Structure 1
Protein backbone atom coordinates (compact mmCIF):
# COMPACT_ATOMS: atom_id res chain seq x y z
CA UNK A 1 0.00 0.00 0.00
CA UNK A 2 1.43 3.37 -1.03
CA UNK A 3 2.23 5.75 1.83
CA UNK A 4 0.29 8.99 1.82
CA UNK A 5 2.60 11.91 1.11
CA UNK A 6 3.24 14.58 3.70
CA UNK A 7 2.16 18.12 2.64
CA UNK A 8 5.76 19.18 1.94
CA UNK A 9 6.34 16.02 -0.11
CA UNK A 10 3.18 16.59 -2.11
CA UNK A 11 4.12 20.22 -2.75
CA UNK A 12 7.58 19.19 -3.96
CA UNK A 13 6.32 16.30 -6.07
CA UNK A 14 3.77 18.54 -7.81
CA UNK A 15 6.55 20.95 -8.83
CA UNK A 16 8.54 18.17 -10.47
CA UNK A 17 5.63 16.18 -11.89
CA UNK A 18 2.33 18.00 -12.49
CA UNK A 19 3.82 21.48 -12.89
CA UNK A 20 7.13 20.56 -14.45
CA UNK A 21 6.42 22.55 -17.63
CA UNK A 22 4.83 25.51 -15.83
CA UNK A 23 7.15 25.88 -12.81
CA UNK A 24 10.27 23.73 -12.81
CA UNK A 25 11.10 24.24 -16.49
CA UNK A 26 10.83 28.06 -16.47
CA UNK A 27 12.72 28.16 -13.16
CA UNK A 28 15.68 26.24 -14.60
CA UNK A 29 15.47 28.27 -17.81
CA UNK A 30 15.81 31.54 -15.89
CA UNK A 31 18.79 30.25 -13.89
CA UNK A 32 20.61 29.37 -17.11
CA UNK A 33 19.53 32.32 -19.25
CA UNK A 34 20.53 34.96 -16.71
CA UNK A 35 23.38 33.09 -14.95
CA UNK A 36 21.76 33.50 -11.55
CA UNK A 37 23.63 30.88 -9.50
CA UNK A 38 27.34 30.08 -9.48
CA UNK A 39 29.47 27.52 -7.70
CA UNK A 40 30.14 28.50 -4.11
CA UNK A 41 27.20 30.90 -3.80
CA UNK A 42 25.41 31.17 -0.49
CA UNK A 43 21.93 32.49 -1.15
CA UNK A 44 19.46 34.03 1.27
CA UNK A 45 15.98 33.10 0.05
CA UNK A 46 13.81 35.97 1.23
CA UNK A 47 10.37 34.87 2.38
CA UNK A 48 7.52 37.33 2.88
CA UNK A 49 4.97 34.60 3.59
CA UNK A 50 3.08 34.98 0.32
CA UNK A 51 2.57 32.36 -2.37
CA UNK A 52 5.49 33.53 -4.52
CA UNK A 53 8.23 33.47 -1.90
CA UNK A 54 7.00 30.19 -0.43
CA UNK A 55 7.10 28.55 -3.86
CA UNK A 56 10.56 30.03 -4.38
CA UNK A 57 11.74 28.39 -1.17
CA UNK A 58 10.59 24.97 -2.41
CA UNK A 59 12.14 25.47 -5.85
CA UNK A 60 15.46 26.40 -4.26
CA UNK A 61 15.35 23.43 -1.89
CA UNK A 62 14.72 21.05 -4.77
CA UNK A 63 17.48 22.64 -6.82
CA UNK A 64 20.01 22.27 -4.01
CA UNK A 65 19.32 18.53 -3.91
CA UNK A 66 19.81 17.87 -7.60
CA UNK A 67 22.21 20.57 -8.79
CA UNK A 68 25.71 19.73 -9.98
CA UNK A 69 26.71 23.25 -8.94
CA UNK A 70 27.43 23.39 -5.20
CA UNK A 71 25.76 26.26 -3.36
CA UNK A 72 24.24 26.94 0.04
CA UNK A 73 20.89 28.31 1.21
CA UNK A 74 19.48 30.31 4.09
CA UNK A 75 15.75 30.95 4.38
CA UNK A 76 15.19 34.41 5.74
CA UNK A 77 12.00 36.03 7.01
CA UNK A 78 12.06 39.69 7.88
CA UNK A 79 9.18 40.69 10.15
CA UNK A 80 8.57 44.36 9.28
CA UNK A 81 5.75 44.58 11.80
CA UNK A 82 3.30 41.84 10.83
CA UNK A 83 0.14 41.45 12.86
CA UNK A 84 0.14 38.31 15.07
CA UNK A 85 -2.11 36.38 12.67
CA UNK A 86 0.18 36.89 9.68
CA UNK A 87 3.28 36.10 11.70
CA UNK A 88 1.69 32.86 12.91
CA UNK A 89 0.61 31.88 9.38
CA UNK A 90 4.15 32.33 8.07
CA UNK A 91 5.60 30.17 10.83
CA UNK A 92 2.95 27.48 10.37
CA UNK A 93 3.44 27.31 6.60
CA UNK A 94 7.21 27.14 6.97
CA UNK A 95 6.80 24.19 9.34
CA UNK A 96 4.22 22.53 7.08
CA UNK A 97 6.49 22.80 4.03
CA UNK A 98 9.67 21.97 5.95
CA UNK A 99 11.38 25.28 5.25
CA UNK A 100 13.93 26.05 8.01
CA UNK A 101 13.35 29.80 8.32
CA UNK A 102 15.35 32.34 10.29
CA UNK A 103 13.20 35.29 11.43
CA UNK A 104 14.48 38.73 12.35
CA UNK A 105 12.36 41.71 13.37
CA UNK A 106 12.37 45.33 12.20
CA UNK A 107 10.18 48.42 12.51
CA UNK A 108 9.84 49.01 8.77
CA UNK A 109 6.03 49.28 8.71
CA UNK A 110 6.03 51.69 11.65
CA UNK A 111 8.59 54.01 10.06
CA UNK A 112 7.28 53.85 6.48
CA UNK A 113 3.63 54.28 7.39
CA UNK A 114 4.41 57.42 9.38
CA UNK A 115 5.88 59.23 6.41
CA UNK A 116 3.68 61.44 4.26
CA UNK A 117 5.73 61.13 1.08
CA UNK A 118 5.84 57.83 -0.84
CA UNK A 119 5.67 55.30 2.01
CA UNK A 120 5.79 52.35 -0.43
CA UNK A 121 9.15 53.48 -1.84
CA UNK A 122 10.57 54.00 1.64
CA UNK A 123 9.25 50.62 2.80
CA UNK A 124 10.80 48.82 -0.18
CA UNK A 125 14.17 50.53 0.32
CA UNK A 126 14.23 49.78 4.04
CA UNK A 127 13.21 46.15 3.57
CA UNK A 128 15.88 45.64 0.92
CA UNK A 129 18.54 47.18 3.15
CA UNK A 130 17.62 45.05 6.15
CA UNK A 131 17.58 41.90 4.02
CA UNK A 132 21.01 42.61 2.55
CA UNK A 133 22.46 43.31 5.98
CA UNK A 134 21.00 40.19 7.60
CA UNK A 135 21.99 38.01 4.64
CA UNK A 136 25.54 39.33 4.74
CA UNK A 137 25.73 38.59 8.47
CA UNK A 138 24.78 34.99 7.60
CA UNK A 139 27.66 34.79 5.15
CA UNK A 140 25.51 35.06 2.03
CA UNK A 141 26.58 36.77 -1.18
CA UNK A 142 23.13 36.82 -2.83
CA UNK A 143 19.52 37.38 -1.88
CA UNK A 144 16.75 35.71 -3.90
CA UNK A 145 13.33 37.32 -4.27
CA UNK A 146 10.09 35.76 -5.51
CA UNK A 147 9.20 38.17 -8.31
CA UNK A 148 7.77 36.36 -11.33
CA UNK A 149 7.09 37.05 -15.01
CA UNK A 150 3.74 38.70 -14.27
CA UNK A 151 5.45 41.12 -11.87
CA UNK A 152 7.93 41.98 -14.62
CA UNK A 153 5.18 42.69 -17.15
CA UNK A 154 3.04 44.66 -14.69
CA UNK A 155 6.02 46.78 -13.63
CA UNK A 156 6.80 47.57 -17.25
CA UNK A 157 3.21 48.68 -17.94
CA UNK A 158 3.02 50.66 -14.69
CA UNK A 159 6.07 52.63 -15.78
CA UNK A 160 4.57 53.31 -19.21
CA UNK A 161 1.04 54.21 -18.10
CA UNK A 162 1.70 56.05 -14.85
CA UNK A 163 5.42 56.91 -14.83
CA UNK A 164 5.87 58.08 -18.40
CA UNK A 165 8.89 55.84 -18.96
CA UNK A 166 9.90 52.43 -20.27
CA UNK A 167 11.41 50.75 -17.22
CA UNK A 168 11.65 47.05 -16.56
CA UNK A 169 12.61 44.75 -13.69
CA UNK A 170 16.02 43.10 -13.99
CA UNK A 171 16.59 39.36 -13.30
CA UNK A 172 19.65 40.22 -11.22
CA UNK A 173 21.29 43.33 -9.78
CA UNK A 174 24.47 44.22 -7.93
CA UNK A 175 23.92 46.02 -4.65
CA UNK A 176 25.18 49.60 -4.55
CA UNK A 177 25.36 49.81 -0.78
CA UNK A 178 26.54 46.27 0.04
CA UNK A 179 29.65 45.46 -2.03
CA UNK A 180 29.85 41.84 -3.15
CA UNK A 181 26.10 41.28 -2.71
CA UNK A 182 23.68 40.55 -5.54
CA UNK A 183 19.91 40.31 -5.86
CA UNK A 184 18.52 37.52 -8.04
CA UNK A 185 15.00 36.67 -9.22
CA UNK A 186 14.91 32.92 -10.01
CA UNK A 187 11.15 32.93 -10.78
CA UNK A 188 11.60 35.55 -13.50
CA UNK A 189 10.11 33.31 -16.23
CA UNK A 190 7.21 31.84 -14.20
CA UNK A 191 3.65 33.13 -14.69
CA UNK A 192 1.58 34.13 -11.68
CA UNK A 193 -1.40 32.07 -12.82
CA UNK A 194 0.77 28.95 -12.58
CA UNK A 195 1.86 29.88 -9.06
CA UNK A 196 -1.81 30.24 -8.12
CA UNK A 197 -2.63 26.89 -9.72
CA UNK A 198 0.15 25.20 -7.73
CA UNK A 199 -1.15 26.76 -4.50
CA UNK A 200 -4.71 25.62 -5.14
CA UNK A 201 -3.64 22.10 -6.16
CA UNK A 202 -1.83 21.67 -2.85
CA UNK A 203 -4.57 23.32 -0.75
CA UNK A 204 -2.15 25.87 0.64
CA UNK A 205 -3.15 29.18 2.21
CA UNK A 206 -0.55 31.95 2.37
CA UNK A 207 -0.74 35.54 3.53
CA UNK A 208 -1.58 38.22 0.97
CA UNK A 209 -0.25 41.75 1.10
CA UNK A 210 0.46 42.36 4.78
CA UNK A 211 1.22 46.06 4.42
CA UNK A 212 -1.07 48.16 6.61
CA UNK A 213 -0.66 51.21 4.38
CA UNK A 214 -1.71 49.27 1.28
CA UNK A 215 -4.70 47.84 3.13
CA UNK A 216 -5.90 51.29 4.17
CA UNK A 217 -5.20 52.79 0.74
CA UNK A 218 -7.20 50.02 -0.92
CA UNK A 219 -10.14 50.77 1.38
CA UNK A 220 -9.99 54.46 0.46
CA UNK A 221 -9.52 54.15 -3.31
CA UNK A 222 -10.98 50.72 -4.03
CA UNK A 223 -7.92 49.35 -5.87
CA UNK A 224 -4.27 50.07 -6.50
CA UNK A 225 -2.64 51.02 -9.79
CA UNK A 226 -1.03 47.58 -9.94
CA UNK A 227 -4.45 45.99 -9.51
CA UNK A 228 -5.73 48.10 -12.41
CA UNK A 229 -2.89 46.74 -14.57
CA UNK A 230 -3.69 43.17 -13.47
CA UNK A 231 -7.31 43.64 -14.48
CA UNK A 232 -6.32 45.17 -17.81
CA UNK A 233 -4.06 42.21 -18.58
CA UNK A 234 -6.84 39.77 -17.69
CA UNK A 235 -9.15 41.52 -20.16
CA UNK A 236 -6.50 41.49 -22.88
CA UNK A 237 -5.81 37.79 -22.26
CA UNK A 238 -9.44 36.99 -23.03
CA UNK A 239 -8.76 38.05 -26.61
CA UNK A 240 -5.11 37.00 -26.73
CA UNK A 241 -3.91 34.41 -24.17
CA UNK A 242 -0.26 35.04 -25.12
CA UNK A 243 -0.28 38.82 -24.59
CA UNK A 244 1.69 38.66 -21.33
CA UNK A 245 4.32 36.42 -22.90
CA UNK A 246 4.76 38.80 -25.83
CA UNK A 247 5.13 41.83 -23.56
CA UNK A 248 7.72 39.87 -21.56
CA UNK A 249 9.58 38.95 -24.74
CA UNK A 250 9.50 42.57 -25.91
CA UNK A 251 11.66 43.77 -23.01
CA UNK A 252 14.33 41.37 -24.22
CA UNK A 253 14.22 42.83 -27.74
CA UNK A 254 14.26 46.60 -27.24
CA UNK A 255 15.21 48.33 -30.52
CA UNK A 256 17.05 51.44 -29.31
CA UNK A 257 17.48 52.59 -32.93
CA UNK A 258 13.75 53.31 -33.04
CA UNK A 259 13.55 55.36 -29.81
CA UNK A 260 14.06 59.16 -29.73
CA UNK A 261 15.58 58.95 -26.26
CA UNK A 262 16.83 56.58 -23.61
CA UNK A 263 18.59 56.59 -20.23
CA UNK A 264 21.73 54.58 -19.58
CA UNK A 265 23.73 54.68 -16.36
CA UNK A 266 21.54 57.51 -15.13
CA UNK A 267 22.46 59.67 -18.14
CA UNK A 268 19.92 60.81 -20.73
CA UNK A 269 20.67 60.23 -24.41
CA UNK A 270 18.99 61.49 -27.59
CA UNK A 271 18.76 59.90 -31.02
CA UNK A 272 20.32 63.13 -32.30
CA UNK A 273 23.68 61.96 -30.92
CA UNK A 274 23.85 59.33 -33.66
CA UNK A 275 21.49 60.90 -36.21
CA UNK A 276 23.02 61.14 -39.66
CA UNK A 277 26.04 59.00 -38.78
CA UNK A 278 24.49 55.97 -40.47
CA UNK A 279 23.53 56.15 -44.10
CA UNK A 280 20.25 54.80 -45.39
CA UNK A 281 18.31 55.07 -42.09
CA UNK A 282 15.04 55.57 -43.96
Structure 2
Protein backbone atom coordinates (compact mmCIF):
# COMPACT_ATOMS: atom_id res chain seq x y z
CA UNK A 1 0.00 0.00 0.00
CA UNK A 2 1.37 3.41 -0.98
CA UNK A 3 1.76 6.38 1.37
CA UNK A 4 -1.13 8.27 -0.21
CA UNK A 5 -3.43 5.25 0.21
CA UNK A 6 -2.56 4.95 3.90
CA UNK A 7 -3.00 8.70 4.40
CA UNK A 8 -6.39 8.82 2.67
CA UNK A 9 -7.72 5.82 4.58
CA UNK A 10 -6.48 7.32 7.87
CA UNK A 11 -8.11 10.71 7.27
CA UNK A 12 -11.31 9.09 6.03
CA UNK A 13 -11.56 6.85 9.10
CA UNK A 14 -10.69 9.75 11.40
CA UNK A 15 -13.56 11.84 10.02
CA UNK A 16 -16.03 8.94 10.27
CA UNK A 17 -15.14 8.30 13.93
CA UNK A 18 -14.60 11.89 15.07
CA UNK A 19 -17.88 13.15 13.64
CA UNK A 20 -19.92 9.97 14.24
CA UNK A 21 -20.90 9.62 10.60
CA UNK A 22 -21.68 5.91 10.21
CA UNK A 23 -23.49 3.41 12.45
CA UNK A 24 -23.92 -0.33 12.25
CA UNK A 25 -26.80 -1.22 9.92
CA UNK A 26 -26.85 2.10 8.07
CA UNK A 27 -28.23 2.20 4.54
CA UNK A 28 -26.18 4.86 2.76
CA UNK A 29 -27.03 6.48 -0.54
CA UNK A 30 -23.89 7.83 -2.22
CA UNK A 31 -24.39 10.92 -4.39
CA UNK A 32 -22.32 10.17 -7.49
CA UNK A 33 -21.43 12.67 -10.20
CA UNK A 34 -18.73 10.60 -11.88
CA UNK A 35 -15.97 12.99 -10.79
CA UNK A 36 -12.92 12.02 -8.77
CA UNK A 37 -14.39 13.01 -5.39
CA UNK A 38 -17.58 10.98 -5.64
CA UNK A 39 -15.78 7.99 -7.15
CA UNK A 40 -13.17 8.05 -4.36
CA UNK A 41 -15.95 8.33 -1.77
CA UNK A 42 -17.81 5.34 -3.17
CA UNK A 43 -14.61 3.28 -3.37
CA UNK A 44 -13.55 4.12 0.20
CA UNK A 45 -16.99 3.39 1.66
CA UNK A 46 -17.07 0.03 -0.06
CA UNK A 47 -13.46 -0.94 0.72
CA UNK A 48 -13.62 -0.18 4.43
CA UNK A 49 -16.38 -2.77 4.86
CA UNK A 50 -13.62 -5.38 4.58
CA UNK A 51 -11.77 -4.08 7.63
CA UNK A 52 -14.33 -2.76 10.13
CA UNK A 53 -16.47 -4.63 12.69
CA UNK A 54 -19.75 -3.03 11.57
CA UNK A 55 -21.82 -3.42 8.41
CA UNK A 56 -23.74 -1.01 6.24
CA UNK A 57 -25.39 -1.08 2.83
CA UNK A 58 -24.51 1.17 -0.10
CA UNK A 59 -26.48 2.40 -3.09
CA UNK A 60 -25.16 4.94 -5.60
CA UNK A 61 -27.50 7.58 -7.00
CA UNK A 62 -26.61 9.53 -10.14
CA UNK A 63 -28.76 12.40 -11.37
CA UNK A 64 -28.10 13.19 -15.01
CA UNK A 65 -28.53 16.90 -15.83
CA UNK A 66 -29.14 16.49 -19.56
CA UNK A 67 -25.89 17.95 -20.94
CA UNK A 68 -24.35 14.85 -22.50
CA UNK A 69 -26.59 12.06 -23.90
CA UNK A 70 -23.72 9.59 -23.47
CA UNK A 71 -23.14 10.42 -19.79
CA UNK A 72 -25.75 8.03 -18.30
CA UNK A 73 -24.21 5.07 -20.10
CA UNK A 74 -20.71 6.11 -19.02
CA UNK A 75 -21.88 6.38 -15.42
CA UNK A 76 -23.58 2.99 -15.64
CA UNK A 77 -20.34 1.39 -16.86
CA UNK A 78 -18.38 3.13 -14.10
CA UNK A 79 -20.73 1.97 -11.32
CA UNK A 80 -20.84 -1.56 -12.68
CA UNK A 81 -17.03 -1.64 -12.60
CA UNK A 82 -17.19 -0.61 -8.94
CA UNK A 83 -19.86 -3.30 -8.38
CA UNK A 84 -22.26 -1.09 -6.46
CA UNK A 85 -26.09 -1.16 -6.79
CA UNK A 86 -27.25 2.09 -8.30
CA UNK A 87 -30.01 4.33 -9.62
CA UNK A 88 -29.59 6.55 -12.65
CA UNK A 89 -32.15 9.36 -12.87
CA UNK A 90 -32.53 11.28 -16.13
CA UNK A 91 -33.48 14.98 -15.89
CA UNK A 92 -33.20 18.24 -17.81
CA UNK A 93 -32.17 20.27 -14.74
CA UNK A 94 -28.92 21.51 -16.25
CA UNK A 95 -30.61 22.61 -19.46
CA UNK A 96 -33.39 24.37 -17.54
CA UNK A 97 -30.90 26.08 -15.25
CA UNK A 98 -29.05 27.54 -18.25
CA UNK A 99 -32.19 28.56 -20.16
CA UNK A 100 -33.29 32.22 -20.58
CA UNK A 101 -36.35 31.49 -18.41
CA UNK A 102 -34.15 30.99 -15.34
CA UNK A 103 -33.71 34.32 -13.55
CA UNK A 104 -31.22 33.10 -10.94
CA UNK A 105 -27.68 31.78 -11.19
CA UNK A 106 -27.65 28.43 -13.05
CA UNK A 107 -25.83 26.69 -10.19
CA UNK A 108 -28.45 27.74 -7.61
CA UNK A 109 -31.43 26.31 -9.50
CA UNK A 110 -29.60 23.20 -10.66
CA UNK A 111 -28.29 22.39 -7.16
CA UNK A 112 -31.72 22.88 -5.60
CA UNK A 113 -33.50 20.63 -8.11
CA UNK A 114 -30.75 18.01 -7.95
CA UNK A 115 -30.76 17.84 -4.16
CA UNK A 116 -34.55 17.66 -4.00
CA UNK A 117 -34.56 14.69 -6.39
CA UNK A 118 -31.68 13.00 -4.57
CA UNK A 119 -33.39 13.29 -1.18
CA UNK A 120 -36.65 11.98 -2.62
CA UNK A 121 -35.07 8.92 -4.26
CA UNK A 122 -32.93 8.11 -1.20
CA UNK A 123 -36.00 8.23 1.04
CA UNK A 124 -38.19 6.21 -1.34
CA UNK A 125 -35.59 3.45 -1.65
CA UNK A 126 -34.97 3.24 2.10
CA UNK A 127 -31.52 4.86 2.18
CA UNK A 128 -32.05 7.80 4.56
CA UNK A 129 -28.35 8.53 5.07
CA UNK A 130 -26.75 10.31 2.11
CA UNK A 131 -23.00 10.62 1.59
CA UNK A 132 -21.55 13.54 -0.36
CA UNK A 133 -18.01 13.74 -1.71
CA UNK A 134 -17.13 17.20 -0.38
CA UNK A 135 -13.44 17.38 0.50
CA UNK A 136 -11.56 19.68 2.89
CA UNK A 137 -11.07 22.31 0.20
CA UNK A 138 -14.85 22.43 -0.34
CA UNK A 139 -15.37 23.15 3.37
CA UNK A 140 -12.79 25.95 3.39
CA UNK A 141 -13.93 27.48 0.09
CA UNK A 142 -17.57 27.52 1.22
CA UNK A 143 -16.50 29.18 4.46
CA UNK A 144 -14.76 32.00 2.57
CA UNK A 145 -17.55 32.30 0.00
CA UNK A 146 -20.14 32.82 2.72
CA UNK A 147 -17.97 35.47 4.37
CA UNK A 148 -17.22 37.32 1.13
CA UNK A 149 -20.55 37.02 -0.69
CA UNK A 150 -23.17 36.42 2.03
CA UNK A 151 -21.75 38.38 4.95
CA UNK A 152 -22.02 35.47 7.38
CA UNK A 153 -19.62 33.09 9.08
CA UNK A 154 -20.81 29.63 8.08
CA UNK A 155 -19.81 26.62 6.00
CA UNK A 156 -20.91 23.08 5.24
CA UNK A 157 -20.68 20.53 8.06
CA UNK A 158 -19.60 16.86 8.25
CA UNK A 159 -23.03 15.70 9.46
CA UNK A 160 -26.39 17.41 9.03
CA UNK A 161 -29.99 16.33 9.57
CA UNK A 162 -32.95 17.38 7.43
CA UNK A 163 -36.71 17.01 7.80
CA UNK A 164 -36.52 16.45 11.56
CA UNK A 165 -33.95 13.69 11.22
CA UNK A 166 -35.62 11.72 8.42
CA UNK A 167 -32.64 12.39 6.15
CA UNK A 168 -29.02 12.66 7.33
CA UNK A 169 -26.24 14.00 5.11
CA UNK A 170 -22.67 12.94 5.83
CA UNK A 171 -19.39 14.13 4.33
CA UNK A 172 -16.69 11.54 5.21
CA UNK A 173 -13.93 13.24 3.18
CA UNK A 174 -14.04 16.42 5.29
CA UNK A 175 -10.39 16.03 6.36
CA UNK A 176 -8.92 15.16 2.95
CA UNK A 177 -7.44 17.91 0.71
CA UNK A 178 -8.50 17.88 -2.95
CA UNK A 179 -4.97 17.25 -4.26
CA UNK A 180 -4.64 14.14 -2.09
CA UNK A 181 -7.86 12.75 -3.55
CA UNK A 182 -6.62 13.37 -7.09
CA UNK A 183 -3.39 11.52 -6.32
CA UNK A 184 -5.33 8.68 -4.66
CA UNK A 185 -7.59 8.25 -7.70
CA UNK A 186 -4.61 8.30 -10.06
CA UNK A 187 -2.62 5.84 -7.92
CA UNK A 188 -5.44 3.29 -7.89
CA UNK A 189 -6.49 3.96 -11.49
CA UNK A 190 -10.09 4.58 -10.45
CA UNK A 191 -12.40 5.46 -13.36
CA UNK A 192 -13.81 8.98 -13.34
CA UNK A 193 -15.40 11.43 -15.77
CA UNK A 194 -15.12 15.12 -16.60
CA UNK A 195 -17.92 17.49 -15.62
CA UNK A 196 -19.94 18.34 -18.79
CA UNK A 197 -21.61 21.42 -17.23
CA UNK A 198 -20.88 24.62 -19.24
CA UNK A 199 -20.69 26.61 -15.97
CA UNK A 200 -17.96 24.39 -14.53
CA UNK A 201 -14.94 26.53 -13.68
CA UNK A 202 -16.82 29.83 -14.03
CA UNK A 203 -18.34 30.30 -10.57
CA UNK A 204 -17.37 32.64 -7.73
CA UNK A 205 -15.86 29.60 -6.04
CA UNK A 206 -13.03 29.65 -8.60
CA UNK A 207 -11.95 33.13 -7.49
CA UNK A 208 -11.91 32.02 -3.85
CA UNK A 209 -9.99 28.88 -4.78
CA UNK A 210 -7.29 30.86 -6.57
CA UNK A 211 -6.94 33.22 -3.62
CA UNK A 212 -6.56 30.31 -1.21
CA UNK A 213 -4.05 28.54 -3.45
CA UNK A 214 -1.82 31.62 -3.26
CA UNK A 215 -2.04 31.54 0.54
CA UNK A 216 -1.20 27.83 0.64
CA UNK A 217 1.96 28.52 -1.38
CA UNK A 218 3.14 30.91 1.33
CA UNK A 219 2.58 28.48 4.21
CA UNK A 220 1.43 24.88 3.84
CA UNK A 221 -0.07 24.95 7.35
CA UNK A 222 -2.69 27.55 6.40
CA UNK A 223 -5.14 24.99 5.00
CA UNK A 224 -5.26 23.00 8.24
CA UNK A 225 -5.34 26.15 10.36
CA UNK A 226 -8.36 27.52 8.49
CA UNK A 227 -10.21 24.23 8.82
CA UNK A 228 -9.53 24.11 12.57
CA UNK A 229 -10.54 27.76 12.94
CA UNK A 230 -14.06 26.92 11.79
CA UNK A 231 -14.61 24.91 14.98
CA UNK A 232 -12.57 27.14 17.32
CA UNK A 233 -14.54 30.38 17.41
CA UNK A 234 -13.86 32.97 20.12
CA UNK A 235 -16.99 35.16 20.09
CA UNK A 236 -15.51 37.51 22.68
CA UNK A 237 -13.07 38.75 20.06
CA UNK A 238 -15.58 39.26 17.25
CA UNK A 239 -17.80 42.33 16.74
CA UNK A 240 -21.37 41.94 18.04
CA UNK A 241 -24.28 41.91 15.55
CA UNK A 242 -25.91 45.24 14.73
CA UNK A 243 -29.43 44.08 13.85
CA UNK A 244 -30.93 45.62 17.01
CA UNK A 245 -29.20 48.93 16.38
CA UNK A 246 -27.37 48.88 19.72
CA UNK A 247 -24.46 46.62 18.98
CA UNK A 248 -25.27 44.30 21.89
CA UNK A 249 -24.53 40.64 21.27
CA UNK A 250 -27.76 38.65 21.37
CA UNK A 251 -27.79 35.97 24.02
Residue 166 of structure 2 is matched in structure 1 by 180
CA–CA distance in structure 2, aligned partners of residues 224 and 274 of structure 1:
34
CA RMSD of aligned residues (A): 2.6
Deviation of 1:21 (Å)? 4.0
CA distance in 2, matches of 1:193, 1:110: 30
CA deviation after TM superposition for structure 1 residue 147, in Å: 0.3
- 1:26: Cα distance to partner? 0.9
> Offset at 1:91?
2.8
For the 8 Å contact 1:109–1:211, the answer to whether it is kept is yes
- CA separation of 1:241 and 1:273: change in aligned 2, threshold 3 A: closer
| Aligned equivalent of 1:95, options 64, 74, 80 | 80
Do the aligned partners of 2:15 and 2:175 also contact (CA within 8 Å) in 1?
Answer: yes
The DSSP-based 3-state class of the residue aligned with 1:84 is: coil
Q: Work out the number of aligned pairs and report it.
A: 249
Using the size of structure 1 for normalisation, the TM-score is 0.79
**Counterpart residue number, 1:49:** 34
Cα distance 1:204–1:67, how it changes in 2: closer, same or farther (>3 A)? closer
Unmatched 5+ stretches in structure 1: 1-13, 276-282
Cα distance change on mapping 1:136 and 1:239 into 2, 3 Å: same
| 2:160 counterpart of 1:160 | no
Map residues 215-234 of structure 1 onto 2, 5 A cutoff.
215=200, 223-234=202-213
Give TM-score, length-normalised by structure 2: 0.88
Give the structure 1 partner of residue 237 of structure 2.
258
Query: 5 Å matches for 1:16-55?
Result: 17-55=2-40
Q: Distance in 2 between matches of 1:24 and 1:37?
A: 15
**Residue of structure 1 in register with 2:123 after alignment:** 136
Return 5+ residue gaps in structure 2 as ranges: none
CA contact (8 A) 2:162 2:168 kept: yes
CA contact (8 A) 1:260 1:270 kept: no
Largest Rg, 1 or 2:
1
The corresponding residue for 2:47 is: 62
